[in-house]
Amino acid sequence: MAVNPFMQLVFDLFIISAIVITAYTCNFYYLAYLSRKRKNVQSTADLGTPSVTIQLPIYNEKYVAKRLVDAVCELDYPKDKMRIMVLDDSDDDTVELLGNAVDDYKKKGFQIEHVRRGTRKGYKAGALKYAMKTTDTELVAIFDADFIPPKWFLKRAIPNFSKSNIGLVQCRWGHVNENYSAITQAQALSLDFHFLIEQKAKSNSHLFMNFNGTAGIWKRDCIEDAGGWHTATLVEDLDLSYRAQMKGWKCVFLPDIVVDAELPVQMNAAKRQQFRWAKGSIQCALKLLSDIVVKRKVAIEAKIQAFIQLTRHIVYPLMLIQFLALPILLAGQVNLYVISFLPALTIATYLAMGPGAYIMIIQSMYHKSWKSKAKILPALLVYNAGMSVNNTVAVFDAVLGKKNEFLRTPKYGVLKKKDDWKDNAYNLPFSQVTLLELFFGIYGILGIFIAIFSNNPVFVPIIALQAIGFFYIAYLSLSHTRFKRNKSSTSRQVTKKEKMANTVYKLSMLGIFAIIVFGVGMALYGYNTDIYPLDRIRGNLDGIIGSSDPVIISAHLAAIQTDMDYILEKLPETTNARGEPSKNPVWIFPIETTNFIRIQQDVNTLAASVEKISTVPKDSSAYHTGMMDISDRSLLIKTNIMDATPYMYVSIGNILFSVVWIAAIIGIFAALKKKREQFKETDESGV
């Protein structure tokens, strides 16, 4: 039997995506095994009090910058051995705030300087590169603005440079506001997976480990030997640490030294952070992988793991491919069960490969407190699923070489649940990616109905999880948006323009919600009128195939004829290649097997065969031969109906409606973008 080329292509993409995603997932489980097998036995040595420069790269962080400077100046370390460089590229109130703080600590005898480059060239990497020109200490510690190093940090971390080839010690991130919301809990669990599984597995081994950009200490010689800070990617930390390890330096992870940090509480800030990490990793893959592959001194396993780490974000576009393909395959009645005669095993396999395995890993990570962490796993699964659109855009940006400025993740000094941030500066607006998230969420709703009506309910939880994720991320992106001028002082009152902008924003959100509800309603109506009749025909054909009673078969044929009449009335009449009448849902490159006039003729032939066989004795060989012929004809018609079903979704009417529907949402987004640009112009003009 000929296979529909379109369905074959979709099926191939689905299977290839599944294989690659499974491979990356299994590698994470392999690292989980290594993290338990290779216990951290990092040796220490009494190195005294080597000189250390603490570099604090900061850009517009007025809510947390002074907290960081205060924490660094409270470190229990000799003042004459500790130099503090506040690398301030800010252009708002942060400059004055840090200037005053630095002056105060200078008077107290600290070697602290307020470094102003006068440019943001190279962003964070540029600031660190600039600072290295005047750095002459043995060690260099780096902290981002939202971190709070404990007093004992240097005294406990520095002794871990016990071997001459250790170039970096990376400490674990803590989370001061982990319980602020569901998204901070999800982020905390995800970061713990990274540190306690991935970093722990790679530390003290021949596998490459990455610097996380903060809460770590470098040997100055290591930075210089590796070529210093480069500004070509958005993840200068990953770039430098890999180049250092290719030079023979070792990177060590210290899980017992925890440096607390503030997690992003605003969804748009979290998306920006994830975008930067995803795009930067792919940029590093394009930049470094060829050198890693040809480097003879790098072990084969280290090369494989480097490839996996640098390219792992390609999982996100593959997730979207699977998400788009699954409803199409279900509508085409393609069998996707792990074992065809045990559908329940499919969902069991997904659970075992996903949540089941992760719960076991959580048990090994947290021991007695694992149950409270396991409760966060559903939120993390929803969060990761919803983030797949944002991170997919980042991957394509990197592959296509699109230039992006380094956009830092704003923090608000939020530590407790009662702390509010929504009226603060730095509040990021939603982006065009939110529109894509809404599209995928609505597509997921249609996919759920397709799974139900195609008798594949086992796939409903899989589709629903991702659809919920898309809607959840989109909802928070919209609800967390406020119009606020970032360069204003903290005491400034909200202007009339901002009040008007927020009113416009709320009305726009109502408009988007109304358009989405209308679109979902129209989609369900379209499914009921265009697709469901085909589902009923397939169901009746199954009834014919499974029956040997002419009376029952005739009843099924009568129901089929009713739906066929309805479909033939809806489809526009054209002509086929031979000039014969045709009613075909395939309006681009139509094929004869999806011509409903021909399918109707096959149904009429089938009805004539049933009428003829009803006069034959049931115990005769002719009767059994006739029934086999009826079953074969029914199966062929069912195949033709299955081939036609996907094309009913892409009728000219549906495409036109979708274009108008999307245009309406884009129009609202464009109006909001224009309002944001007006605020930006006002800020730049200083009015």
| CA 14 from centroid of its chain's CA atoms | 18
Distance between CA 49 and CA 159 in Å, rounded?
9
Structure-block tokens of residue 118 = 């006068």
3-class DSSP assignment, residue 162: coil
Element (H, E) at 666: helix 652-685
Q: What beta strand segments (E) does 160-286 contain?
A: 166-175, 216-219, 250-261
pLDDT tens digit sequence for 303-318 = 999 999 999 999 999 9
Sign of CA dihedral 412, 480, 677, 470: positive
Distance between CA 296 and CA 303 in Å, rounded?
10
Q: What beta strand segments (E) does 309-370 contain?
A: none
In the chain, the amino acid numbered 116 is R
Sign of CA dihedral 281, 285, 287, 289: positive
Mean pLDDT of 87-96: 94
Structure-block tokens of residue 265 = 């509480």
CA-closest candidate to residue 231, choices 121, 88, 115: 121
Give the CA distances from residue 181 to residues 188, 265, 460, 468, 476, in Å, rounded to whole numbers and listed in that order. 11, 8, 27, 17, 12
Distance between CA 51 and CA 161 in Å, rounded?
13
In the chain, the amino acid numbered 231 is T
CB contact set of 481 (below 8 Å; sequence gap of 6+): 268, 427, 428, 429, 430, 505
| CA 295 from centroid of its chain's CA atoms | 32
DSSP letter for each residue of 42-74: ----------EEEEEEESS-TTTHHHHHHHHHT
Residues in a beta bridge with 349: none
Total residue length of the chain: 687
pLDDT tens digit sequence for 353-369 = 677 788 999 998 998 88
Strands 82-88 and 111-115 come out as parallel
In the chain, count H helices and then E strands.
24, 10
Give the CA distances from residue 88 to residues 67, 124, 143, 269, in Å, rounded to whole numbers and listed in that order. 15, 10, 13, 21
Asked which of 208-217, 290-299, 336-345, 565-574 is least confident by mean pLDDT, the reply is 336-345
Which candidate in 88, 92, 192, 237 is catalytic?
A: 237
SS (H, E, C) 144-159: CCCEECCCCHHHHHHH
Name the pLDDT band for 491 (thresholds 50, 70, 90). very low
Which candidate in 88, 89, 92, 260 is catalytic?
A: 89
Q: Is pLDDT at 483 greater than 60 in this prediction? A: no
Whether 80 is catalytic: no
DSSP letter for each residue of 489-540: -TTPPPPHHHHHHHHHHHHHHHHHHHHHHHHHHHHHHHIIIIIHHHHHHHHH
CA-closest candidate to residue 612, choices 629, 588, 596, 598: 629
Mean pLDDT of 90-95: 92
In the chain, the amino acid numbered 442 is I
| CA 152 from centroid of its chain's CA atoms | 37
pLDDT tens digit sequence for 20-31 = 998 999 999 999
CB contact set of 83 (below 8 Å; sequence gap of 6+): 51, 52, 53, 54, 111, 112, 113, 135, 137
Strands 216-219 and 139-142 come out as antiparallel
Mean pLDDT of 404-409: 78
Whether 89 is catalytic: yes
Strands 52-58 and 139-142 come out as parallel
What's residue 296's pLDDT? 85
Name the pLDDT band for 442 (thresholds 50, 70, 90). confident
Question: Do the beta carbons of residue 240 and residue 229 sit within 8 Å?
Answer: yes
Higher pLDDT, 506 or 560: 560
CA-closest candidate to residue 258, choices 195, 171, 335: 171
pLDDT tens digit sequence for 34-51 = 998 766 567 888 889 999
Mean pLDDT of 601-624: 90
Question: Do the beta carbons of residue 257 and residue 402 sit within 8 Å?
Answer: no
Could you tell me the pTM of the whole model?
Answer: 0.79
For tokens 């170039």, what's the residue?
Answer: 167
Name the pLDDT band for 487 (thresholds 50, 70, 90). very low
Name the pLDDT band for 388 (thresholds 50, 70, 90). very high
3-class DSSP assignment, residue 430: coil
